[in-house]
Structure 1
Amino acid sequence: MPEVIETRWNRLTAAELNALAAAGAVVLLPIGSTEQHGPHLPTGVDDFLATEVCARAVRELAGRAPVVLAPSIPFGLAEHHMAFGGTLTLSLPTLHALLRDLCKSLLRAGFRRILVVNGHGGNMTALHALVTELTAELPARIGLTNYFTLAREEIQDTLEAQPGLMHACEGETSMIMAAWPELVRAQHLPAAVGPPITLPAESTAPAYFAVSFKDFTASGVAGDARGATPVKGERLLAASATALCELLLGDEWARP
């Protein structure tokens, strides 16, 4: 059997991490959220999926580029889900301070390249601003990607009820079915449907107003999970992981 190369930060020794830092390894820092995901999915979906895509990408990169997978940040900006219960949220200053402290720790450990891999739509706008501030403040190359936008064409080709990932939807449900089928409450799938949403960066609304998710979806779902399948989920996870590999091996990220 081929040797399994360990890349998860919290399963490596300090000496092993020092060696990876000396080799110029990129640190992947997944961030998600802990929030309601409709009647059929657990609250950890965004955290689980961001971390799973990173773990798959690291396995694909074995022997091609040094990468370390840091422990995930399971909390994000989820105020818009609080009305449903079951949700944990951070304030923006807390998220900023948390990211700053973690990035500083990574720098002190010898790493100089950090890629934040986001799994929660509600984090997107804030993370763009925070990564800009941290880049100006710290002597490191810090990047940001959203795993759910990395493989847009594959996602669009795979999904049947919607053009992209939404919330507790066909896409997220399919991926959980593929990776953790025991976490899906299948008896509640018939009720797992709601109106579509648009990602913040793609909105055409003339003005932004803060709105609770409960104001437009009684189910807590955006999109339609009723057509979710493990086959679709495996395809989405594989495509996202491969796209993340390509990003890490590309000239733009490799630039010092």
Structure 2
Amino acid sequence: MPFIDEPAGTTPMTDTAAHGAASPWWQDRTPQEIAALAAADGVALLPLAAIEQHGEHLPLSTDLDIALGLVDAALPRVRAGVPVCVLPPLAVGLSLEHSAFAGTLSLRPETALAVMVELGERVAAAGFRRLVLFNSHGGNKALVDLAALKLRVECRMLVVRANYFRFAPPPDALPADELRHGLHGGALETAMMLHLAPAKVRSGRVGNFDSLGRHLAAAGRLLGPEGEAGFAWMAQDLNPCGATGDARLATPALGDRLVQHFARQLARLVEEAHAFDLARLDGGALDRAD
């Protein structure tokens, strides 16, 4: 897209030619560059995280560090020619379940939902028709569902609900019991932090944080914190320290494997969002298989 102050008959210098490789970040772009990405049917990616307690072995920034780490690892894997732009992360989300612990920041549900929707509206106003809500915090999931539906209705755009913790993990990476009950600060998150930000992990405080959910499941109960029939829980309901899972299983090598695996899935998701036939959103082209 030519700059309006370019003299007639000249060829504008591209961003890559003028400044090296183009930044994937929305805030590093200019208005005309954002408009050009939208005109190219680009994918906007909004990282959603939280600033909240993860026990005493992990920092408050855990969800944000993981979200940004996965985005950084995914972008080089996105196929060349797929335009993607990453919005500034929404670092603070809905963390009411962790509010009993010092340091946790949380918006009200109404505020958090409004922020997600209003950001999506501005993305749509810039001309984008494809938005990926990439979420790293379980407490945001209900908001992601609602925001995606509202934006679909009001902005007629493709909105992808992408919670990395819903992605299938690598086979045999962790025991099934740990994947089910290590919901917060367990082996999975600790391993990724050991890979992404090892200096932030308080290794002397890593432990096995048993969960009420595991005990209920062992007793054959249908009712639990998650699963087929879950109850609303505060973090201290599951374990007094606020973490659940056996973080002792975490290693940097496991963290590397998890990050690369989830990053590949995110990259694939961005590519599929770009290739999605938007005509299908209104019931059209349902007979097409491509």
Does the TM-score normalized on the shorter chain lie above 0.5? yes
- Please say if residues 212 and 239 of structure 2, whose CA atoms lie closer than 8 Å, have aligned partners that are also in contact: no
Per-residue deviation, 1:180: 0.8
Map 1:50-199 onto structure 2 (within 5 A). Answer: 50-61=67-78, 63-150=80-167, 152-154=168-170, 156-160=171-175, 162-163=178-179, 166-190=183-207, 193-195=209-211
Match of 1:222 in 2: 244
State the distance in 2 between where 1:204 and 1:135 align.
28
2:64 to 17, 40, 47: 47
Judged with a 3 Å threshold, the aligned counterparts in structure 2 of structure 1 residues 186 and 202 are, in CA distance, closer, same or farther, namely closer
**Aligned alpha-carbon RMSD (Å):** 2.3
Match of 2:255 in 1: 233
State the distance in 2 between where 1:188 and 1:237 align.
23
Q: Which secondary structure state, in structure 1, belongs to the residue aligned with residue 178 of structure 2?
A: coil
Q: Which secondary structure state, in structure 1, belongs to the residue aligned with residue 44 of structure 2?
A: strand
Kindly name which structure, 1 or 2, has the bigger radius of gyration based on alpha carbons: 2
Per-residue deviation, 1:209: 4.1
State the distance in 2 between where 1:153 and 1:181 align.
21
- Please say if residues 186 and 245 of structure 2, whose CA atoms lie closer than 8 Å, have aligned partners that are also in contact: yes
Judged with a 3 Å threshold, the aligned counterparts in structure 2 of structure 1 residues 243 and 93 are, in CA distance, closer, same or farther, namely same
What percentage of aligned pairs have identical amino acids? 32
State the distance in 2 between where 1:195 and 1:253 align.
42
Gaps of 5+ in 1: none
- Please say if residues 159 and 232 of structure 1, whose CA atoms lie closer than 8 Å, have aligned partners that are also in contact: no
Count residues with an aligned counterpart.
248
> What is the TM-score when the length of structure 2 is the normalising length?
0.79
Question: Does residue 254 of the first structure (1) align with residue 268 of the second (2)?
Answer: no
Gaps of 5+ in 2: 1-19, 215-223, 279-290
Partner amino acid for 1:203? G
Judged with a 3 Å threshold, the aligned counterparts in structure 2 of structure 1 residues 131 and 23 are, in CA distance, closer, same or farther, namely same
